Chain A
């Protein structure tokens, strides 16, 4: 079902007009209320009067996570404190947390956008919906919660933790929908199986999963183990929280709530705007936010905007899956290399375990890339007595990497358990280059 056809299905021309008017308004609003943006715009010699259509957005400055940290806690807040009704914060493991204040209107728009997502998943008034995102500073829990209430469904604010109790509630209350991270969904499935509860004992039919990257394989696994249809839900606290984009029944990318969050794809190095269909870094501008609007916020998430219309009738543009983070990007011999590209190549080869390490070095002033990957022992159980299955695998990995990365990599096959388990996000990259 389409929650708000007037917006979700409006003609592209009408939408562009609306976006342009809203952009002008939000630019004028931050110009007059946030010194950070006013200074930046004055440095670039632009004023709100220069922004008259959505195409003028390319003239505006970018905002980065670092800008948000540098202006901790309230430097980017545009509304007076008396108008702020809620504050969320990001975890801040690598510096100041990011503080995001919401006005009453912001919370209303968030709920509206979340209701659009849930409707697209087929959630309605008769659903009993468990929200198992963390409640608290993280936007996941309360964001999904308000969306279900706004829609008229029954919400169970489960939050995370005490998984056995959660499974019991799902079974006893006849819970039909759930929102959580994909990895928690798998944990839930494991717990359920350990408790001896079968999928047929449950009424679960729909799941909204997000807040971390996941794959089609995970989707299939979650769907079969929990007996539901799994949909992608995307969002980030700097923009709003969950509800920024959502899959419809066609599940061919996620529709962006474009009347509120304007997307662009840029080259993460040159910051040039890229055409639809080209992969790059996702950038959002909030068009209606009052508490903490952001102009051209660089999400660091890598994806592309999918050209063409969707069969569901919504006209909102779709974004592809997130394939990685631009801050993990390596520049090797002048070529942009993302560890996620290497990962996707390795995932496509069954003999390779999803455990790898990239070593970047420099020999005689030339960058070298070494990819170490562990093999899966079960794929060699058929029998080998020479090295050829391993050297063949090495060649296969090298040729696939070459075609994806456009640079040659030295591949090293490793025995299981020999590559250290990575703890942080970037631990699987070792850059040994010393620039003299």
Chain B
């Protein structure tokens, strides 16, 4: 599925600016996660219209882009996330980052690995469900 990434500076009001832009564009946000260093951060988001969101953000002067990530459905019970991550760990696939999302009321684990082809194999051989957005 498609993820929107925005380059942000660590200063007051930046995230508000990103979210206000998406609000004005009428975007439904499913997940948001921020990774930061001392001066900058990357804000990653899942929403109902990634292309539209990216365009709106660029129009507002943000540096943003779309990349592909996996969103695997979790069971709403303890240990579900651990079980999914363990499948990748045992297959030797590293996870670059992950965060959770609620899409249509269901919990998902959003992540990017260092090996997309292997990740697809793991998803299908273990009968995992990918998000349809």
Contact = CB atoms under 8 A, between A and B. Distances in A.
Q: Which of A375, A380, A417 has the most CB of B within 10 A?
A: A380
Given A375-B63, A415-B63, A416-B61, A384 B7 contact: yes
A417 B61 contact: yes
A385 B40 contact: no
Contacts of B39: 412
A381 B7 contact: no
Nearest to A418: B9
A168 interface: no
Interface residues of B, number: 24
A377 interface: yes
B12 interface: no
A380 B7 contact: yes
A384 B61 contact: no
A390 B40 contact: yes
A390 B44 contact: no
A332 interface: no
A385 B9 contact: no
B7 A385 contact: no
A414 interface: yes
Interface string A352-384: 000000000000000000000001010011111
Contacts of A381: 65
B41 A385 contact: no
Given A386-B96, A387-B41, A415-B7, A380 B65 contact: yes
* Shortest beta-carbon contacts, A-B, top 4: A385-B67, A385-B5, A383-B65, A377-B63
Interface of A: 375, 377, 380-387, 390-391, 412-418
Given A377-B61, A390-B40, 9 more contacts: A377-B58, A377-B64, A383-B65, A383-B66, A385-B69, A387-B7, A415-B61, A415-B63, A416-B61
Interface of B: 3, 5, 7-9, 35, 37, 39-42, 44, 58, 61-67, 69, 96-97, 112
